[in-house]
Amino acid sequence: MPFIHDSSYRAPWLFRSAHLQTIYPTILRRVPLITKERERIDTPDGDWLYLDWHRNPRSRKLVVLTHGLEGSSHQTYMQGMAKVFSQAGWNVLAWNFRGCAGGVNKKIHSYHSGATEELQIILDHAFDQDSFTDIALIGFSLGGNVTLKYLGERAHEVDTRIKSAVTISVPCDLESSSYRLERSENALYMARFMVSLRRKIRQKIELFPDQVTDKGLKEMRSFREFDDAYTAPMHGFQGAKDYWTQSSSKPYLPKIRIPTLLINAADDTFLPQECYPTSAARESDYFHLEIPSRGGHVGFVSFGQNKTYWSERRALEFVEDTI
């Protein structure tokens, strides 16, 4: 029953606010760029993906990092995790969803919360190099949902080189999380997401003027409106609710068959109660759930410890215990 009741994370005294935990790392944390080697690979549908590498020729261990909504491989949380794993001797692959590495991708569709086929493309590329024997997956927020869904969908078919996974601040129930983000306490975050999403839709309109319209775009204030008008139809779903239902990772958690850790802070303002799957953890031999009392959304601020964050050290600890 891998439900971890007593998390080891202790928030610094001044960081007992969930909002400060969420905002501080984004604005004030500085992490050097670890994954400096960029690679572009073609996708089967004629598009491309950008991968950023840190290579250690002496190691056959690889960690694959997947970012969150409207993030990129250069996000502070991605490079913080890359730093910890690179210092431990791992190869690091931090990849970008379509349209998240600068510029717009070629297709009308881009990425979404259930896009496990994108992760498979990345992993197939890593497998083709035929040098990695131990692979770990780490996903943040939306990228964590993709990671969990991938592992559950494939279950016993997951490549044996993939030994474990860690996911952080994951909205594993997309519908309830989308509604939660409509609350006034999350208005700042929602507005920031919408600025980025509107910009990408306007770029799509330039490429596909006969297929994409900006009708109502300026007035949209929620994922419910945006996903219904754009995300769902662009990716083959019937509407926002169908997209959320089919893309949520929560139903797949009982099917996971490799050691997997989900870390969701109890004070994460993005996540409603539905995103704390305690029953799935209690009933699984593989799926672990850890709920620190504080941490915000992709926060877990720590000081000292070579400027690493608790979530980064915890991820390395969990992964290395499974090899």
28 CB contacts (<8 Å, ≥6 apart)?
none
Domains with residue ranges and CATH for the chain: 3-173+249-320 (3.40.50.1820), 174-247 (no CATH)
State phi, psi for 312 to the nearest 5 degrees: -70, -45
Confidence (pLDDT) at 1: 52
Confidence (pLDDT) at 31: 96
Confidence check: pLDDT of 40 > 80: yes
Q: What span, in angstroms and rounded, lies between the C-alpha atoms of 237 and 243?
A: 5
**Section 9-27 average pLDDT:** 96
Strands (E), the chain: 3-4, 37-42, 48-54, 61-66, 91-96, 134-140, 162-168, 260-263, 287-290
Dihedral (C-alpha) 220, 222, 223, 226: value to the nearest 10 degrees? Answer: -10
Give the pLDDT confidence of 132-186 residue by residue, as tens digits.
Answer: 999 999 999 999 999 999 999 999 999 999 999 999 999 999 999 999 999 999 9
Give the pLDDT confidence of 217-239 residue by residue, as tens digits.
Answer: 999 999 999 999 999 999 999 99
Confidence (pLDDT) at 5: 74
**Section 108-114 average pLDDT:** 96
- C-alpha distances (whole Å) from 323 to each of 41, 94, 139 are 29, 21, 19
**Dihedral sign of CA atoms 13, 17, 22, 28 in order:** negative
Give the pLDDT confidence of 252-305 residue by residue, as tens digits.
Answer: 999 999 999 999 999 999 999 999 999 999 999 999 999 999 999 999 999 988
Q: What percent of the chain has pLDDT over 70?
A: 100
Q: What pTM, to 2 d.p., does this model score?
A: 0.97
- Residue-averaged pLDDT of the chain: 96
Confidence (pLDDT) at 16: 94
